[in-house]
Amino acid sequence: MPTGKEGMEEPLPTDADHIGALPDTVLHHVLSFLPSQDAVRTCVLAKRWLDLWKSVTALRIGDRDKRKLWTVKGLQGFVDHFLLLRESVPLHTCVLRFIVFSEDLNETSRLNLWIKHALLRMVQFLQVSIRQNTAFYHQINLGILPFVSRHLSMLELHGVRMVGSFLDFSRCPALQHLEFDRCELPCDKILSESLKLLRITRCKFSQTSRVRICVPSLVSLRLDDFYRRTPVLERMPSLVEAFVRVVHRTYDCCGYDYINSGDCGNEHCKSCHGIKDDNNCVLLDGLSEAKTLALIDGTISVCLHVNSIIFPIISIVVSISTSGCS
């Protein structure tokens, strides 16, 4: 049995570059989780790292911390050069987070340009998040409608205003996850044949028209803390779970006929005009096939006093959870 120095393994050199010895595919994967500014900074580590960032499959701009966010104008030079110099490889992930201090049309057009570039690079996960300065409120308009991509599967939009009366995602056949948070949605219809999960939280709908949500393949729905007119949910036969929370007063009581609410026939009635369903249900008719339905806070007390124009008969729901109802 060897003893002393003969039985000891030789120590590894202290200057060995173990990370640099990894294959390019692994390094690209690691770099894809870094903010893009940090990914570019790795070019100074060694000669091998000089161009690695150019093949990274993620663009990550901005911080989760609002205090560390930049404006679009402040990072325009970096993002433009990043997109110009990177190789023509597909983007898997694109995360754009900015803060708005003033109404600048150039910032809006530049952001839309970057989003178009990401879609052309076959992005699969796209997140756009705009935070507002406390002293100024302005939502950046997204004017890239309709979205067209065979590869986009997840889309998350925070703090933006969608331009156009028809949010048509039918030309995104792979889209399964759609999220709106703190957005303004002044549209008449939201359409997607492929969508499985839809989350709409703290959003403003139109005051003059009622949006119809047509997502027949939906499995999970969250409609939480919305403003203005309540949307119409068309039939969703695959729906498994739904969460609905009404916090703010909506335009859902007929202003002309409180007895026969639903479709009073008056074209000037913002609450009823445009609703032609036989059962006069406004909000929950599309949820009648859900397996689990959660109604939170004041939903029941707000909805049921209008003679069921909002709350239809639900016969297939396995369980209904309610809270905060009077």
For the chain, 326 residues long, give each residue's pLDDT as a single digit of tens.
555 555 556 555 556 566 666 777 888 888 888 888 888 888 787 887 888 889 899 999 987 766 677 787 888 899 999 999 988 889 999 999 888 766 666 678 888 889 999 999 999 999 998 887 654 445 667 766 678 899 999 999 998 888 776 788 989 999 999 999 989 888 888 899 999 999 999 998 877 777 888 999 999 999 888 877 778 888 888 888 888 887 765 555 555 555 444 556 666 665 565 555 544 455 566 777 777 877 665 544 444 333 333 444 344 444 445 455 44
- From 151, 93, 104, 149, select the one nearest 130 (Cα to Cα): 104
The Cα 67–Cα 38 span in angstroms is 18
Residue 46: both structure tokens together: 């060694």
The Cα 238–Cα 101 span in angstroms is 43
Domain extents in the chain: 22-56, 57-195
Tokens 């759609």: give the residue.
178
CB 287 within 8 A of CB 234: no
> What does the angle CA 66 – CA 69 – CA 73 come to, to the nearest 5 degrees?
145
Burial label for 169, CB within 10 Å (0-12, 13-18, 19+), is buried
